[in-house]
Structure 1
């Protein structure tokens, strides 16, 4: 189930990052970018690569938050330890 959820997060984020890459760099030339008043010391391909991974990480965070918020209360509150091995302070009595 964990791998399935990871794919629910990573795959849509990958597609959106690709779309953002096309949209942003269709309007902005990487050679014109400046960082704190200085031109970037990266090639165009380097800027494209770093921007893609930044877009991917941001959209993965968004997808992960959506996945977390879509979980049922049972999934969030269940105790992962078997009932006979739970510590005394584990107040969760659900299965």
Structure 2
């Protein structure tokens, strides 16, 4: 029985793609597992009672003017200064 070269080539490519998929998925799993070492889930769920006891209303947030930000960025780019 003669094997059709087109079918043989297709099967070789299919096997190569399955192999590449297995290799890339195992590599991605290993990278993800390594990235998450030391990360733990919270010990308890946050409840609405704990958020009600917080002090402050969140009014400490201050918006900066865009012109001030642009001047600061331009000064840092041109002079390399650490302007505040």
Bucket of the pairwise TM-score, normalised by the shorter protein: 0.3 to 0.5
Identify which of structures 1 and 2 has the higher relative contact order when contacts are C-alpha pairs closer than 8 Å and 6+ apart: 1
Which structure has greater helix proportion?
1
TM-score w.r.t. the length of structure 2 is: 0.39
- Structure having the larger proportion of residues in strand: 1
